[in-house]
Amino acid sequence: MIRHTDIIRTANLILLSRLWNQSTTSIWDELTAQLQEIVNTELGSGYTVTLRRQDYYYWDMQIKTDLEMDETLSEKICERLGLQDVDVSMFLDDDWVDSNHLFGLLSKLTHREVTSSHADDYGVWIICKSLVWSSPEFTEHLLVKCEKRLRREIKDRHYSSVDPDTACHQLFGFMEALTMLGLWGRDKFFVMPDHFADTVIAQEVCQDEM
């Protein structure tokens, strides 16, 4: 898990402290391992993450793969990792991504809306919005992410306890929690009893075609 020290509140931001350890090398190794784990979860095996410190407070990340790169795979990487303000075909030409485009990926690490990140001799500062100041778009992103995960689990035999009914309860419970925290309005997202019925229908069609 990511380690933090001294959470500092300033206006509507939370300054999540830099990753720390006895040596700068360990700091980068730790962050690399954490981002590698996220990449494995989102894309599967076959991808290697490398981080590189640049001048001043800049840093970037390389994503290498043995898979043959094409436009479809490049777009998949950008979408799954939440890369922001990039050409989705960027990996056809370069596999290094500037840290300014990694806020979506870092949000998967911190579970908060990341607004900036800065590297120094002691580690990486990740600056996030307080949850109560998160944008409606970020809150909606959390709901959509939860819904997509549940749809995958319904179709995955490794999640035998997840069916359309249990998934519906999970999604409704998550939405209710966000609403009670004041992060979401009840009239913005609806979860009906048959919310995941189309997932089952699509799965049955695929099985019939096989």
Q: Please, are residues 16 and 1 in contact by the beta-carbon 8 Å criterion?
A: no
Contact criterion met (CB below 8 Å) for 134 and 112: yes
Query: pLDDT > 70: what percent of the chain?
Result: 80
pLDDT over 70 (residue 163): yes
- pLDDT at residue 22 is higher than 60: no
The pLDDT score that the predictor gives to residue 127 is 84
What mean pLDDT comes out for the span 22-46? 82
- What is the C-alpha to C-alpha distance for residues 66 and 45, in angstroms, rounded to an integer? 10
Other beta carbons less than 10 A from residue 140's beta carbon: 14
Query: 127 and 140 share a domain?
Result: no
Do 42 and 127 share a domain, yes or no?
A: yes
More confident residue, 123 or 57: 57
Strand partners of residue 126 = 16, 117
How much is the mean pLDDT over the chain? 80
Whether 1 is covered by a domain: the verdict is: no
Task: Indicate whether 108 and 194 sit together in one domain.
Answer: no
Which residues is 27 bridged to in the sheet? Answer: none
Cα–Cα dist 204/153, whole Å: 15
User: Which of the residue ranges 17-26, 100-109, 159-168 would you say has the lowest mean pLDDT?
Assistant: 17-26
Last residue of a domain, one of 131, 165, 188: 131
Of 131 and 113, the one with more pLDDT: 113
pLDDT of residue 110: 85
Domain count, the chain: 2
Domain extent at residue 122: 8-131
Domain boundary residue among 131, 158, 190?
A: 131
**140/127 same-domain check:** no
Instruction: Report residue 63's pLDDT band, with 50, 70 and 90 as the boundaries.
Output: very high
Statement to judge: residues 16 and 116 lie in one domain: yes
Q: How far apart are CA 126 and CA 57, in angstroms?
A: 12
- For residue 3, tell me if it sits in a domain: no
Residue at which a domain ends, from 72, 102, 131: 131
